[in-house]
Every structure is written in C-alpha cells, then in structure tokens.
Chains A and B, each alone.
Chain A
C-alpha cells in the first residue's frame, strides 16, 4: 500500500462521515459504558430513525472523552456541543434539537479549564474516532508515521528521532525510550521481541485502559515503528483480563490492520514484517513488573527475577526484548509524524511531552486528562480538576499508586516531572492521581496501600512477602490507636529495610506511601500512639531530639 491508498481511504472515510449534517459521538469507553452509554447509543439510533433523520445524522461510538465523572457523554459535531449525564430517555430531546438550540439542561460547558488547559498527544483521537474502525483512524492521520518510517528512515534514524524527542518511559520510572530502543537494537541475539505492557493495576488508574479502548490502532502503529527500529518481527500486548473491552478492541484492531496490510507480512508493501498477539494477565498486579510479565507470557508463574540481565539483553525466551508501557508506544506515532523538535518543545528540560493522568478522589472533575509536563499540581487539581467539591479543603494528592506517595498542600506549586515528584518522596508513576480532602486519614491511606502490596506480593523474596505483612500489622495498630513509640521505630526501620532489600520494584517501593505520609503528616501517626505526650514531645523537639 502506498501513501495514495492511505489518503484515498482517509478521504473516503471523511466524505462518508461529512455527508451527514450532524454527527453524534457517544462515548463507548468503560466509564461511560458502566453508566449506560450503550443504551444511550441505541436509543439515539432508534429515535433518529423514528424522526426520519437517519440520512442527516450519524451516531458513532467513540473512546474516552475525558470527563468520566459526568458520563455518559455525547458530543454533537460539527457544532462541538457536549452533553453530559445523558440517559436513554434524553434521546428524543437531543434528536429533536439537532437543528435547533442545544438541549440546555444536558449541556456541558467546554470553555472551562478542564478542556482548555489540556494538551492532547496520546489522547488526540480518543473521543473523536470510532476505535472499532481502522478507516476512522486512518482518516485521523493514522499509519502515516509507520509508512513514513518504513519508506524514508533507516532503523537508526527512528532511534535517533526518538532519542532527540526526549521521550521517557510512561510506566513510571521514566527510562529514556530512545536509549532503550538503541540497547535492544544493539543487543546480540535473535529473534527480538516487542512487548507492550498493558497490565495497568494501580488503584485509581485507568489511563492505559482508555487508550487501549479508545485508540487501539495507535498502540499497534507505535509498536510496529519500534519493532522496525529494533529489528523485531513479533510483538505481544499484555493486557489484564479485567479489561475485556480493551482486549476485544485490540484484537479487532489487529485483525483490521492485518487485513489492510498495516500489520503482518510485508507491511504497507515493504519488506518489513511484524505481527502482534494479545496475551491476557490473570489478575496479578506484580505482572506489571517487566520480568514477571515476561515470565507470564512465557507461561511461567508470574514472578520477577533479579535484573541484570535486563529484558533488553535477555527478555522473552532469553531473547532481546523491548518492553514499554501503553502510553509510551502511543506517543511514538505522533513523534515520528510531527518530528522530535515538536515533541521536545513541550514540557520541561528533562521531561518532555505530555502525561496522561487519571484524576479521581475528592475533586470536582473526575476523569482522564492529558497535560504538558511541567504543569503545576495546583493547575491540575484546582484548574483542570476544578478544586475540591462540597466546600472541602485540600489535604494531599497521591500519585504513583502503591509505589508513590502523598504530596501535601505546601508542595502544590511543584511542577510535574519525573525528578520533582521523586524529590518529594513520590513518583510520577503510570498516572494515577487521587485527590484527598481533610476528611482523609493519612494513616488509613498508607494502610490501604500497604494492604494492596501485601496481597499483591508474589511471595518470592522474604522482605516483600513477610515485610509487607509486618508493616500492615504495624499500621493497623496505628489505625486502632494502640501503637507505641517502639512501633514507630519499627515501622521506620522496616520501611528502610524493605525498600533496600526487596527483589523487585513492588517491594522496593511498597514503603513509599508510609514514608511520604510520615514525612508530611507525622503528627497523625504520633496522635495515634498510646504513649504520645505532646508536652514531652515539644520539650524533646526543643532539645533537638526526634520524636
């Protein structure tokens, strides 16, 4: 297939859609679906037929539009009118008002900071295109980057472009993507594999889910480009089985791409061949750790092994393997299409581009957002997020899930990038962002995440298997207000030990929620100790002792 053919498919698709005077885009991603958006879609289709407007109005299922907390969402194009909280019963009214003023009581204002302050790269198509039709993706410029790469660039050219862009791993650790590709490309051994990590499991995180559900072809295109760069002919997408819709849409996307020659043998008429298979995770959080994920794909028990050797050298079946997060792959087509300079112009000196966050908790606008790196936490929570609802007062924001930490009010002016968040004792993480108000107990937050780590520990290494249980038991004492000064000492020494000695990232980062709440909200722990004497603590503090 050549560029002309891609252009023809795109032009046909656009023409087919533009022949409708109105287009109703109904969100069919997990959040809105759980609020009944599938029924809304059916009702709209029925009522349009009943009203005899089926030649005038197209109803199209799309991916996540972002404002998940106000779903089901329906976008009317080309008027750009967004309806929120739509029920199936609202369908006749929406259809009736197609040629009139928009339905006022359903209308969601789109000139708010939530919409204006976002910068969309990864989510540029999400909520705009039908994730179940490859033609819609091509009409939005899809597979152009792959064609350009295969016909104009050498593999090293792709790697250089990604290196110059400054893209870093979006799974949380922020490893430079270009460097990783270059390592896999240079690693001896064959075959080589490309693996996409879609085992998103942090509580409160649904970024990768939305991308897989809303724009699956983007991930396939990113993987194919990366495969060309490192010399791989086979790829796997590892998705947790709890995301059935993502699995269904990815599989559908793979079939469509193969049919059109965008995947499979001799892609787009070149000599490059690449195939992708979906592998399902069986519900273990630890399988998001790359070596455990690889073991799981191989059919082994999903537990991590010591690194080095890193998967780039010895990964899947002992072969060099490029493993990246969904969001990382989703950035690649845009970078190759628009150039590394464009990408590098967004963000901060060391963190480039954008980051998708799943904003949840005590915040007005709950949903999925994409913001440029370097934006402050305050702009995210109070600008885009709209602040704390019901007159509540902000207390802390949790980033990075069970591996991250709680950031208090005094650090709200922090700019979001990998280094700044780490300095605060949290991490960027994969993008979960949970806002808490002054009703939340920080000890309970720490205890919740420790319980999560305890139940998700694989049990291989002693510090994580036993240490998380001991930490959980200690936190329970604080929660029950029966802790003592000795328990606080034990808590701190155990945190230090588990962090330093655990085998993989799960154990090494499990103490983070405890350590960060101890750092910023120590008083809450002290108040829960039976032998805490505020007066004595004051005297000791004055003498320079740590309480």
Chain B
C-alpha cells in the first residue's frame, strides 16, 4: 500500500515496506544515522535518526518507521539537532576516540557526524574506560576503544555472510562485541576471514592490519551489490 505524507512540508510518498528514512533519502533530505546500513536489518539503536511527527509527543526512529497516511514529519528541528549532538557527545565520552592516531581519520562516520552536527567538544564527562584491542586475527584487528556498539558487524556477519561470528556480550555500559564465545578473534572457528565486518564498521574499531593512520577507507557498496545479485538469481 502506498501512503502519502509530508517530510519538512514537502509532499512525498512511500511504497510498501519503505521507511521514513528511505523516502527522505530519495528526496535528498539528510537524516543522520549511525547504526543503520543499507542492506542490513535496521535496529533503531543509535537514535540519531529520530524525527518528530506532528501531533505526537513521541519521537520515532526514521530507519524502522513506516509513515502513515497524512503524517507530517519534521527531520531537523532545533530540538532534534540538540538531541543528536548530545548523542554524538555521549559516544565520544563513552569510548576513547583519538582521531589523530586513528586508522579511519578522515573516513570515519562518527567523526563526520560530529562535524555535521557542529560538535566542537563534549560537555559530558569522559569515562576513560579501559578497553582492549584484539589483534589475534592474521589480517584484521578490533580496537574496542573506537567501537560505538552499532552492531553493524554483528548483523553483516549473521545476515550477509551467514557466519554469526560476532555477537554482543554484557549489558549496559559493559556491553561489547565479541567473536565466537568471547574467544580471541584469531582462534575463531566460525570466522571466514571475509572482511565484511571491517567494511561495515562505521569507525576505526575494525580495521585491516596493513593500514596506517588515516588509510582505512571503508567500502559499504558491496552490500547493495550482494543483495541485488542474490535477488536476481
């Protein structure tokens, strides 16, 4: 069923299964995202794509919400921008993000978000948590200091590669992504060394060992390609 509605006062329409985010992107309306990645099941976890619906007090995540007929959606109110900046500040305060020494410097989605949202510093207290690096894999490594727990690696490994090497362990601030049952990545018996997680990762948390500062560019276009080829048959 096709519905027609408004985004930022522009008349738009959504087809069966299309979310508010899909439609916004079709019309080049920028809605920031982090945990969302085209081709993976959306989870609505980062809360950056929250948008306002006229007449409703609750904000809705654009990545998982289908617009109802006649809805009036606003994507960049002052309030939304304020919340989004706070979310990004929270992520910077939670991890240990030091762009100057990061392999993804200049190619990082978190860094780009901070720039777009005009974040110059975090007003929140940094948590300086001790986090580990697992470099036991022969080609790849994970630096948990840079992980934002978007779970894109978990989903790409499960849904596209079918290996389900990655998962999440612990709860709350103690959560972290793990390989197999929290075993060193290099000893994983399920990992196929495909590298999809590396490309799906929005930050420098997952990277190829051969890369130096600023050299780790991610390529997520393969996801659309794989999906198309699988559907063509």
> A residues within 8 Å of B by Cβ?
284, 286, 301, 305-306, 308, 454-463, 465-470, 473, 490, 493-494, 497, 500-503
Q: B90 contacts A467, CB within 8 Å? A: yes
A468 to B64 CA separation, bound complex (whole angstroms): 24
Q: B91 contacts A462, CB within 8 Å? A: yes
Q: Which residue of A lies closest to B169 (CB)?
A: A301
Q: B45 contacts A462, CB within 8 Å? A: yes
29 A/B residue pairs, CB under 8 Å, sorted by A: A284-B171, A301-B168, A305-B44, A306-B64, A308-B65, A454-B172, A456-B172, A458-B171, A458-B172, A459-B149, A459-B171, A459-B173, A460-B43, A460-B149, A461-B45, A462-B87, A462-B90, A465-B94, A465-B149, A466-B94, A469-B94, A470-B90, A490-B124, A494-B86, A497-B82, A497-B86, A501-B59, A501-B83, A503-B47
Q: B87 contacts A465, CB within 8 Å? A: no
Q: Check B32 for interface membership: any CB of A closer than 8 A.
A: no
Q: How far is the CB of B146 from chain A (nearest CB, A)?
A: 15
Q: How far is the CB of A473 from chain B (nearest CB, A)?
A: 6
In B133-184, which residues have CB < 8 Å from any A CB?
148-149, 167-168, 170-175
Q: A466 contacts B90, CB within 8 Å? A: yes
Known: A306-B61, A462-B87. A502 touches B47 (CB 8 A): yes
Known: A470-B125, A500-B83. A465 touches B44 (CB 8 A): no
Q: Which residue of B lies closest to A306 (CB)?
A: B44
> B residues within 8 Å of A by Cβ?
43-47, 50, 59, 61, 64-65, 82-83, 86-87, 90-91, 93-94, 123-125, 127, 148-149, 167-168, 170-175
A490 to B90 CA separation, bound complex (whole angstroms): 13
| Additional 5 contacts, C-beta under 8 A, given A306-B65, A463-B87, A501-B50 | A305-B44, A456-B172, A461-B44, A466-B124, A503-B45
**A457 contacts across to B, CB distance below 8 A:** 171-173
Which 6 pairs across A and B sit closest by C-beta, in order of nearness? A459-B175, A457-B172, A466-B90, A306-B44, A501-B47, A466-B94
**B148 contacts across to A, CB distance below 8 A:** 462
Q: Which residue of A lies closest to B66 (CB)?
A: A308
A408 to B65 CA separation, bound complex (whole angstroms): 40
Q: A470 contacts B93, CB within 8 Å? A: yes
**B83 contacts across to A, CB distance below 8 A:** 497, 500-501
Q: B172 contacts A455, CB within 8 Å? A: yes
Q: How far is the CB of A514 from chain B (nearest CB, A)?
A: 16
Q: A490 contacts B173, CB within 8 Å? A: no
Q: B170 contacts A503, CB within 8 Å? A: no
Known: A473-B125, A497-B86, A501-B50. A468 touches B172 (CB 8 A): yes
Known: A473-B125, A490-B123. A501 touches B87 (CB 8 A): yes
**B43 contacts across to A, CB distance below 8 A:** 305-306, 460
Q: A469 contacts B127, CB within 8 Å? A: yes
Q: B174 contacts A459, CB within 8 Å? A: yes
Q: How far is the CB of A282 from chain B (nearest CB, A)?
A: 11
Q: B59 contacts A466, CB within 8 Å? A: no
Q: B64 contacts A459, CB within 8 Å? A: no
Known: A470-B90, A490-B123, A497-B83. A462 touches B174 (CB 8 A): no
A473 to B47 CA separation, bound complex (whole angstroms): 22
Q: B46 contacts A465, CB within 8 Å? A: no
**B167 contacts across to A, CB distance below 8 A:** 301
A216 to B171 CA separation, bound complex (whole angstroms): 32
Q: B171 contacts A466, CB within 8 Å? A: no
A467 to B44 CA separation, bound complex (whole angstroms): 17
**B93 contacts across to A, CB distance below 8 A:** 466, 470
A301, A308, A460, A463: which has the most chain B beta carbons within 10 Å? A460
**A308 contacts across to B, CB distance below 8 A:** 65
**B82 contacts across to A, CB distance below 8 A:** 497
Q: Which residue of B lies closest to A469 (CB)?
A: B173
A53 to B94 CA separation, bound complex (whole angstroms): 69
Q: How far is the CB of B84 from chain A (nearest CB, A)?
A: 9
Q: Which residue of B lies closest to A472 (CB)?
A: B173
Known: A466-B173, A469-B173, A501-B59. A460 touches B86 (CB 8 A): no
Q: B61 contacts A459, CB within 8 Å? A: no
A306 to B61 CA separation, bound complex (whole angstroms): 8
Q: A461 contacts B47, CB within 8 Å? A: yes
A30 to B123 CA separation, bound complex (whole angstroms): 47
A490 to B89 CA separation, bound complex (whole angstroms): 13
A459 to B87 CA separation, bound complex (whole angstroms): 14
A519 to B30 CA separation, bound complex (whole angstroms): 37
**A493 contacts across to B, CB distance below 8 A:** 86
A458 to B173 CA separation, bound complex (whole angstroms): 8
Q: A462 contacts B171, CB within 8 Å? A: no
**A473 contacts across to B, CB distance below 8 A:** 125
Q: A470 contacts B124, CB within 8 Å? A: yes
**A490 contacts across to B, CB distance below 8 A:** 123-124
Q: A463 contacts B172, CB within 8 Å? A: no
**A306 contacts across to B, CB distance below 8 A:** 43-44, 61, 64-65
A467 to B123 CA separation, bound complex (whole angstroms): 13
A457, A462, A467, A497: which has the most chain B beta carbons within 10 Å? A462
Q: How far is the CB of B90 from chain A (nearest CB, A)?
A: 4
**B90 contacts across to A, CB distance below 8 A:** 462-463, 466-467, 470
Q: How far is the CB of B53 from chain A (nearest CB, A)?
A: 13
**A465 contacts across to B, CB distance below 8 A:** 94, 149, 172-173, 175
Q: B46 contacts A462, CB within 8 Å? A: yes
Q: How far is the CB of A479 from chain B (nearest CB, A)?
A: 15
